[in-house]
Amino acid sequence: MQGKSRPAKLFAILTSCSLTLGLMLILAACGGTTPTTTTGGGGKSPSDIHLGFVSETSSLNFASEMAAGAQYAANEFHVNAQIVAPPTVNDQAAVKLFQDLTRTASDGIAVETLAPNLFVRPEAQAVKDGIPVIAVDTIADPTTGITTYVGNDNIAAGALLVDEAVKHLPANASGTVIVGIDTPGVPVLTYRFQGIQEEFKRLLPNVQVLGPFDSKQEPNANYIAWSSLIKAHPNALAYLGVGDADNASLARLRQAQHGTYLTAAFDLNATGLQAVQDGVNYALIDPEHFLKGYVAMRLLIEHALHGTEIPKGWWNPGAQLVNQANVASIIARQATLATKGAYYQPIIDKEFANPTAQIKPYDQAK
């Protein structure tokens, strides 16, 4: 470049800058269509509808069940749905996926996250841009402008696990019950613990609930945590987990120790269902994740297809107790997306026959 004169260099720089600017302007003109046309919704053909569902991770049962429900709804109505999730629990990555969806899923997005605070700004922006957004499983911050939440009554779900435990305990039982949370800091899990605590206090006042203890999410770490908790509190009446990972560890420990205590947890992973079927864990709670994913996606679909107003408030699809009486049918249900759909169809039909009956005020969600 030694031979190049100064004006020639300047010309080259200016040309490069102009080309770059020109390209940027062209790209902005092509892709800068902010999705502002969906506020009212309705009137679109299914193939023109683009929806999104972002969930916490693709590798944990609770999240993949919700994604399956959303996918089932999209398949049922033949709309385009992008179901996305980071492979491991990674909230920053989930936020990025949500932001990407706001550009491609302009007809509505359902968000399932364990860290709703991280989504406040992008969700508020999406709502401002006219994209319908529904919170699933955890309540969105009120400042986001999101007015619809599909989630369980987690206090009631915790109580449901206790109601079943009480059937296996003497009427005047006294002692301790140990409760573990595999992901500390997640409000829905804390509510489940609260439900367990309150229900024991109500039904068996001489039983003291200890915890919540950190039972860890990685399978081996979860096993070690529970093993240590059982050693530290060897005379407890029951060991209860409120998360996905707890099922397998509690079952394996009870088998290994030939424990006479009760064990149970939440969610529908394969080992958890097997443990209930084998009579090792006395029950598990299915927080109807599939139904939550389905409901959120269907509300968005009906809004985009027919302009049906998305109901404001908290839609609670309930929670189901899985014990030896019904575990075989639940295992059969979990086989494929089609079997899940077939099982849930009567429930779906019933709930969507009168959607307003399902709705409670947003601020009552727990």
If the CB atoms of residues 64 and 144 are measured against other proteins, the closer one turns out to be 64
Least gap, CB of 130 to other proteins (angstroms): 33
Closest listed residue to residue 290, CA positions, set 233, 239, 337, 322: 337
Residue 342 neighbours by CB under 8 Å, 6+ apart: none
Tell me if 60 contacts other proteins by CB under 8 A: yes
Distances (CA, A) of 185 to 106, 114, 115, 366: 31, 9, 9, 15
90 binds other proteins (CB under 8 A): no
Q: Which stretch binds other proteins (CB under 8 A): 139-147, 160-168, 208-216, 304-312?
A: 208-216
Query: Given the rule CB under 8 A, which of 13-21, 36-44, 221-229, 347-355 is the region that contacts other proteins?
Result: 221-229
Residue with tokens 């959607």: 355
Examine residue 332 and tell whether it contacts other proteins (CB under 8 A): no
What is the Cα Rg of the chain in Å?
Answer: 25
Work out how close the CB of 64 gets to other proteins at its nearest, in angstroms, rounded to a whole number.
5
SS3 state of residue 353: helix
Which token pair is 314?
């908290």
Which residue of 48, 218, 309, 363 would you call a contact of other proteins, by CB under 8 A? Answer: 218
Binding-site size, other proteins (CB under 8 A): 39
Q: Which is nearer to other proteins, 229 or 238 (CB)?
A: 229
220 binds other proteins (CB under 8 A): yes
> What is the nearest approach in angstroms of other proteins to the Cβ of residue 66?
12
2 Cβ contact list (under 8 Å, min separation 6): none
Distance CA 298, CA 344 (A): 14
28, 256, 335, 353: residue in contact with other proteins (rule CB under 8 A): 256
Q: Measure CA of the first residue to CA of the last residue in the chain; give whole Å.
A: 69
Binding of residue 102 to other proteins (CB under 8 A): no
Q: Does 187 bind other proteins (CB under 8 A)?
A: no
Contacts of 295 (CB under 8 A, 6+ apart): 69, 150, 315, 317, 351
225 touches other proteins (CB under 8 A): yes
183 alpha-carbon distance from chain centroid: 13
CB atoms near residue 99 (< 10 Å): 16
Site membership for other proteins, residue 242 (CB under 8 A): no
Q: By CB under 8 A, is residue 248 in contact with other proteins? A: yes
Q: Which residues bind other proteins (CB under 8 A)?
A: 57-61, 64, 87-88, 181, 184-185, 210-214, 217-221, 223-225, 227-229, 231-232, 234, 245, 248, 252, 255-256, 269-271, 274
